[in-house]
Structure 1
Amino acid sequence: MTLVETGLLASLLISLIALVFALISLRRVRQQARETEKLIHKLMRDVAASSSGSVGMGQRLLAMEKRLQSDVKKTEKIDYYNDDEFQPYSQAAQMFKMGMDCDEVARRCGLSRAEASLLEMMQKSSR
């Protein structure tokens, strides 16, 4: 065997090894492409479900807002300051305006700590 033949044989062997590596790489790339496609379809389903849920929630919020607006019109006729049922809350609002703390207002008006805290937050946000 001559030097040229040996060189050709070595080139052929290197080419075959490169071809095997290329085929293995091609198979991995195809597998990754299939997995990526599955993930894309899953994400698309998740986004569609999330969007439909958001639309449904938006519709519920709009309906709730309409109900609240109609309730506000009905409640505008009620005099909260002279109604016995709402008296502790109006007293608490006045106490918060005077600068009393939440625990003191709750104790004096007979409200729970959570009610007094909520009234305090409402009072602060209305300022």
Structure 2
Amino acid sequence: MESQWLFNFLLILQFLILIAVVIWAVRLSRRLTQMKRYHAEVESSQKKHVQVLASGSIGMGRRLVAIEKKLNLAVEKQSEILSKEGGVSYNRAMELLEMGATVDDLVSKCGLIRAEAELISLLKQESRRNSDYH
């Protein structure tokens, strides 16, 4: 009789352990499902962010290419203008700036308009700064 009682007790104990394991497995499965869903949402969100960044980069790249084309055209036109006008006055202005001339000196001695003289002066200053850094 006692062995029957022990057998029944062990059987009930095994059944309770089995129920506990099943409950634990169900909870674990739910948690795993929630984590999968969360990771899928995060991944989707990150993909959207990457797409936005990529499209922004593409747009910015196109704008840069367009600006570069405009800059190249401006440089070509400037070169044409310099060659037509004879860049001698600009070369002379650069030489005078090397000797310490002012913007007013460039206007009077090189026949430049004030805006041109100021631009050449600024370019020369920038050139000096760049050469000082290197």
TM-score by structure 2 length? 0.65
Name the structure 1 match of 2:129: 124
Query: How do 1:23-62 residues align onto structure 2 when only pairs under 5 Å count?
Result: 23-62=26-65
Superposition CA RMSD, Å: 2.2
Deviations 1:60-89 (A, max 9, x none): 100100100010011123454342322234
Aligned residue-pair number: 102
Q: Give, in whole Å, the separation in 2 of the partners of 1:6 and 1:24.
A: 27
Cα drift, residue 91 of structure 1: 3.8
Q: Give, in whole Å, the separation in 2 of the partners of 1:17 and 1:41.
A: 36
Query: How do 1:36-115 residues align onto structure 2 when only pairs under 5 Å count?
Result: 36-76=39-79, 77-78=81-82, 79=87, 80=90, 81=93, 82=110, 83-84=112-113, 85-91=115-121, 96=125
| Structure 2: stretches of 5+ with no match in the other structure | 94-109
Cα drift, residue 13 of structure 1: 0.4
Amino acid at match of 1:2: W
Look at both structures and tell me which one has the larger radius of gyration over its CA atoms: 2
Q: Give, in whole Å, the separation in 2 of the partners of 1:89 and 1:35.
A: 59
More helix by proportion, 1 or 2? 2
Q: Does residue 10 of the first structure (1) align with residue 40 of the second (2)?
A: no
Q: What percentage of aligned pairs have identical amino acids? A: 25
Q: Give, in whole Å, the separation in 2 of the partners of 1:93 and 1:34.
A: 60
Q: Does residue 19 of the first structure (1) align with residue 22 of the second (2)?
A: yes
Q: Give, in whole Å, the separation in 2 of the partners of 1:88 and 1:56.
A: 35
SS at match of 1:2: helix
